[in-house]
Amino acid sequence: MDQTFGTSNLPVGCKIEIVDSLGVRHELEGKTGPMVPLPFMDEHGQLSFLVQAFGEFVFDGRAGGYGSFENLRKIR
């Protein structure tokens, strides 16, 4: 999995390889749209963000998909 991050250190896209039950590899690419970052302190007192967003997706080169996007980002 590859992720890209914007200037505010929040995710703006990802590329995921999926292997199905037949062993066939697929590629899913996502780009975030409007997002809501929810900051919180983890159990070690470090700042983390749970990011909820809507996004556009491309599956095996077929564009037009959309859906929700969730990411947990720990700041170190």
Note the pLDDT tens digit of each residue in 32-51: 888 888 889 988 888 888 88
Confidence of residue 76 (pLDDT cuts 50, 70, 90): low
Res 73 pLDDT > 90:
no
Query: How many CB atoms neighbour CB 56 within 10 A?
Result: 16
Confidence of residue 16 (pLDDT cuts 50, 70, 90): very high
Residue matched to tokens 């700042």:
47
Q: Is the pTM of this model over 0.75?
A: no
Q: For the chain, which residues make up each domain, given as ranges?
A: 2-74
- The one-letter amino acid code at 16 reads I
Beta strands in 1-76 (DSSP E): 2-5, 11-19, 25-41, 47-59, 62-74
CA–CA separation, 51 vs 68, rounded Å?
10
